[in-house]
Amino acid sequence: MPLALDNIRVGRVYRLTNYGEIRFLQAMERLSGVNFKMKDLDTLEFYELEELLRWGRGKDYDLDELR
């Protein structure tokens, strides 16, 4: 069962699975509501969480806290 977006905390690490793509992300700062600035730990790029979920949530959508 995926973690609710309301439960994301700054500084914590998460695994996001969506449409067959797996990303390891760290929440860097809260921008507004449930939108966060996220750092991809594999590529070191920054994304907004809304940007990663813009095209919806696939059947395999899952968000888990790792550390």
Which candidate, 59, 16, 41, places its Cα nearest to that of 5? 16
Q: For residue 14, give both structure tokens.
A: 């998460």
pLDDT of 37 reads: 97
Is 0.85 topped by the overall pTM? yes
Q: In which domain, by residue range, is 17 found?
A: 5-65
Please count the structural domains in the chain: 1
Which candidate, 65, 53, 66, places its Cα nearest to that of 19? 53
pLDDT of 62 reads: 94
pLDDT of 2 reads: 85
Digits of tens for pLDDT over the chain (67 positions)?
A: 788 988 999 999 999 999 999 999 999 999 998 899 999 999 999 999 999 999 888 899 999 999 7
